[in-house]
Amino acid sequence: MIVTRFAPSPTGYLHIGGLRTALYNYLYARANGGKFLLRIEDTDLKRNSKEAAEAIVEAFKWCKLDFDGEMVYQSSRFDLYKEYVQKLLDEGKAYKCYMSKDELDALRKEQEAAKQRPKYDGRYREFNGMPPEGIEPVVRIKAPLDGVIEFNDGVKGEIKFNCADILDDFIIARSDGTPTYNFTVVIDDALMGVTDVIRGDDHLSNTPKQIVLYEALGFKVPKFYHVAMINGSDGQKLSKRHGATDVMEYKKMGYLSEALLNFLVRLGWSHGDDEIFSMDEMKKLFDPTHLSKSASTFNQSKLEWLNSHYIKTVSFERLVDELKHFGLNLKEIKHAKLLVDSLRERSKTLVEMANSAKALLNKPKEYDEKAYKKFINENSLNLLAKFSEILDEDLNASGYEEKTIKFLEENEAKLKDLAQPLRVAITGTSVSPSIFEVIEILGSKEVKERIEKLINK
Ligand code: GLU
């Protein structure tokens, strides 16, 4: 069975790149009837992992990603890590190193002066004398110092590292007994039964160290997939400079989670030239062999394009629900369906949609200066006044249209003479969805009142 995981370090929010990693792992597990696990990598106790975990769960909920089993906190597993450190010590695969900080600094300086790669020189590897006093030792793994470490990366293909170039006997437990990052990852992935690790290729350099540990511990090495990073539009690694990186900011900006997930899945994965993927399709089609080797670019306009697609296509009930978060209560509005259907065609975000709806539903407080100057004059006010007289019953949009055409014929006027001044009267601006739909939504009485308000301005 495929078992994947998402293993964020607590930062207080879910990063957009993290969500992509989570999504890939989630999809791979779901596509194969496997398991998707969540682990909070909070061994650095200075950070508040509870809050950070809550932020991740909140973002998962919003995106409707579910994980299997209990969320695992590394901070609750220190005893377990200690056990395995001891095991490696007992088996002679790891050892205590009593080098002081001064000694380490001196070694580093020497190596730098000789233009060598700074690395631990193994001086305690075979030590069995009396430990120096007053020094709490670190524990180091006996790493292979020559030969190669090879693995077949699911994205990058055959990867080879020369041990002599990259390894030394690296630390697995610090002098205060806390385990190091690479060590906890390996213990947890192995004990949680993780078979496939999909993660950013910024972790590629950790992989040989982790393989050393898997082998020392006698655990099976999982399959790794190192996915290329997401860049901003300037080709630099995506950061706050490029816009929001917190997933929940996208919710606040009026994106639907479907759009964000669809956007993210395509940033680094493809299925032919297809662009639109529902969650069901993603689950069916996702295959990590089509993950991209090269970095992708975060393209905000593509995200907007996908968002308008989903705003156009999700159900009415769903939009009513979403729009509540933007201060729009459509439950009390008689023609809510018509309002939503006419606005969803022209909105890139829910914020835009809610604002347009509010602009329609409330009487204008002021009139856009340009629109007023352009469309409001004695003639147009006269026409509006006359038009207001025929608004004596509530009709549907085509009923209003018919009645209006008749009215225009009788008054020898054209639709353009009426439509824009009417928009100014109704919304205070010269933009709105189809004018007849707008009249149906508001009803004759309300439109009459708005015309009157403009005339009496
Ligand atoms: N905790 C690591 C991070 O947030 C991820 C570790 C991994 O995926 O192996 O970058």
Domain residue limits, the chain: 78-227, 369-455
* Ligand 1 near 196 CB (within 6 A): no
Largest CA distance in the chain: 111
pLDDT for 332: 83
| Residue of 192, 199, 230 to test ligand 1 pocket, by largest number of atoms within 8 Å of CB | 199
Q: Which CATH architecture has domain 369-455?
A: Orthogonal Bundle (1.10)
- The SS3 assignment for 294 reads coil
In short, whether 288's Cβ falls inside 6 Å of ligand 1 is no
Tell me which DSSP letter residue 246 carries: B
Q: How close is the Cα of 22 to the center of ligand 1, in Å?
A: 11
Is residue 81 within 8 Å of residue 209, measured between CB atoms? no
Place of tokens 């919304």: 427
Pocket lining: 41 vs ligand 1, CB cutoff 6 Å? yes
What is the model's pLDDT at position 193?
98
- How many whole angstroms separate alpha carbon 330 and alpha carbon 318? 12
Active site amino acids: 240
Q: Determine what percent of the chain falls in helix, strand and coil, rounding each to the nearest 5.
A: 50, 10, 35
Q: Looking at residue 422, what DSSP letter applies?
A: H
| Phi, psi of 197, rounded to the nearest 5 degrees | -115, 110
Interval between CA 390 and ligand 1 midpoint (Å): 68
Q: Report which ligand 1 atom has the smallest distance to the Cα of 210.
A: 9
CA of 8 relative to ligand 1 center, distance in Å: 5
Ligand 1 pocket residue status of 11, Cβ below 6 Å: no
Q: CA torsion, points 373, 378, 382, 384, in degrees to nearest 10?
A: 0
For the stretch 338-341, contacts whose Cβ atoms lie closer than 8 Å and that sit 24 or more positions apart, written own/partner, are 338/397, 338/437, 338/440, 338/441, 339/441, 340/316, 341/316
* From 23, 38, 41, 205, mutation site for ligand 1 pocket: most ligand atoms within 8 A of C-beta: 41
Provide the pLDDT for residue 83. 98
Instruction: Return the ligand 1 atom nearest residue 200 CA.
Output: 8
Instruction: Quote the CA–CA distance of 57 and 20 in Å, as a whole number.
Output: 15
Q: Which atom of ligand 1 is nearest to the CA of 185?
A: 9
Q: What's the gap in Å between 268 CA and the centre of ligand 1?
A: 18
Q: What is 78-227's CATH number?
A: 3.40.50.620
Q: Evaluate: CB of 203 within 6 angstroms of ligand 1.
A: yes
Q: Cβ distance 2 to 196 under 8 Å? A: yes
Query: Six-digit token pair at 333?
Result: 């509005």
Give the Cα-Cα-Cα angle 198, 256, 226 (nearest 5 degrees). 10
Sign of the dihedral through C-alpha 341, 342, 343, 344? positive
Quick check: CB of 185 below 6 Å from ligand 1? yes
**How far apart are alpha carbons 246 and 243 in whole angstroms?**
9
Q: What is the rounded CA–CA span in Å between residue 237 and residue 125?
A: 39
C-beta of 258 in contact with ligand 1 (< 6 A): no
Pairing of strands 230-231, 223-227: unpaired
Candidates 203, 213, 214: which one to mutate for ligand 1, based on the most atoms within 8 Å of Cβ?
203
Domain 78-227 matches domain 369-455 at the CATH topology level: no
Cβ neighbors of 399 (< 8 A, separation 6 or more) are: none
- DSSP letter at 298 equals -
- First CA to last CA distance, the chain: 72
Residue 125 · residue 142 · CB < 8 Å: yes
Q: Report the distance separating Cα 188 and Cα 72, nearest Å.
A: 9
Give 398's contacts (C-beta < 8 A, 6+ positions apart).
Answer: 436
Alpha-carbon distance of 36 to 25, in angstroms, equals 7
- Alpha-carbon separation of residue 105 from 12, 54, 101, 110, 206 (angstroms): 34, 40, 6, 9, 23
Residue recorded with tokens 């400079």: 241
Whole-Å CA distances, 72 to 59, 272, 332: 17, 37, 44
Q: Using CA atoms, how far apart are residues 415 and 10, in angstroms rounded to an integer? A: 60
**Cα 197 to ligand 1 centre (Å):** 10
Q: Closest ligand 1 atom, CA of 199?
A: 8
240 marked among binding-site residues: yes
With left for phi above 0 and alpha for psi between -120 and 50, is residue 19 left, alpha or beta?
A: alpha
List the chain pLDDT tens, one digit each, 457 residues. Answer: 999 999 999 888 999 999 999 999 999 999 999 999 999 999 887 777 788 899 999 999 999 999 999 999 999 999 999 999 999 999 999 999 999 999 999 999 999 999 999 999 999 999 999 999 999 999 999 999 899 999 999 999 999 999 999 999 999 999 999 999 999 999 999 999 999 999 999 999 999 999 999 999 999 999 999 999 999 988 888 888 888 899 999 999 999 999 999 999 999 999 999 999 999 999 999 999 999 999 999 999 999 999 999 999 999 999 999 999 999 999 888 899 999 999 999 999 999 999 999 999 999 999 999 999 999 999 999 999 999 999 999 999 999 999 999 999 999 999 999 999 999 999 999 988 899 999 999 999 999 999 999 999 8
Task: Give the residue from 205, 7, 186 showing the smallest Cα distance to 94.
Answer: 186
- How far, in Å, from the CA of 7 to the mean position of ligand 1? 5
Amino acid, res. 212: V
Q: Which residues contact 424 (CB under 8 A, 6 or more apart)?
A: 367, 368, 371, 372, 375, 376, 430, 454
In this structure, the number of other CB atoms found within 10 A of the CB of residue 231 comes to 18
Q: Which atom of ligand 1 is nearest to the CA of 6?
A: 8
Q: Does ligand 1 have an atom closer than 6 angstroms to the CB of 430?
A: no
Query: Token pair of 222, please?
Result: 């999982």
Tell me, what DSSP letter sits at residue 189? Answer: H
The amino acid sitting at 370 is K
- DSSP assigned state of 327: T
CB contact burial 154-176 (16+ within 10 A = b; e otherwise):
bbbeebebebeeebbbbbbbeee
